[in-house]
Amino acid sequence: MDIGDAYQTLEILDRTTDEEIIIAIFTVRVTDTPGRADDYRKALDAIAKANNSQKLQNFLYGNGSFNSSSVPQGSNDWPVGLENIGNTCYLNSLLQFYFTVKPLRDMVLNFEDFKMELTEENLRQKRVGSRKVKGDEVRRAQKCTHVPCLNPC
């Protein structure tokens, strides 16, 4: 990887960025997108070699704190991240936060166990805030809990 590609991979605009900042950026990139850890490691290696930086080399291969076993691995308990498309980062961050709330996550993942029965009494009492929710709204929302949602919600 050439030096230009390395800085671009790590999304570092200023090639005079301090080594400590480069290490911090590298660490954030690996933490946020562990699937690209190898790309980020190659980029950091290219920057270290181009700048003849012992500090970056030590971080990657020597006395530094990075090693491949420190890369977070996905699990059923934590989100693995979402790709941002356009201006979706705010929504993505909310979805990832909500996923960390175990009772909410369990309700979503096991929706059939928590789904409201569509009885006349339940539909008559259904409210969101002070607004009465119509039965059609509840039915449409419950249809959208199935993956994939073939009917537009």
**Model pLDDT, residue 146:** 60
Task: Confirm whether 75 is domain-assigned.
Answer: no
DSSP 147: S
Q: Where are the beta strands (DSSP E) in the chain?
A: 127-128, 131-132
Please list, in sequence order, all residues whose beta carbon lies within 8 angstroms of the beta carbon of residue 84, skipping any fewer than 6 positions away.
92
* 150 and 106 inside one domain: yes
Q: Establish if 40 belongs to a structural domain.
A: yes
pTM: 0.44
Are 15 and 65 found together in one domain?
Answer: yes
Would you state the pLDDT for residue 27? 86
Range of the domain at 150: 102-153
Structural domain contains residue 78: no
Q: Is residue 14 part of a domain?
A: yes
- 93 domain residue, yes or no: no
Residue 149, domain member (yes or no): yes
Listed in sequence order, the DSSP H helices in 3-68 are 3-9, 19-32, 37-50, 54-61
pLDDT at position 72: 45
Q: Is residue 76 part of a domain?
A: no
Domain boundary among 54, 70, 86: 70
- Nearest residue to 59 via CA among 72, 40, 73: 40
Please count the structural domains in the chain: 2
CB 56 within 8 A of CB 47: yes
106, 65: one domain: no
Is 50 part of any domain?
Answer: yes
Tens digit of pLDDT at every position of the chain (153 positions): 899 999 999 999 888 888 888 988 898 888 888 888 889 999 999 999 999 998 898 888 875 555 554 444 445 555 556 666 777 777 878 887 888 888 888 888 888 888 888 888 988 888 888 888 888 888 888 877 665 544 444
Taking the C-alpha atoms of residue 92 and residue 58, their distance in angstroms, rounded to an integer, is 35
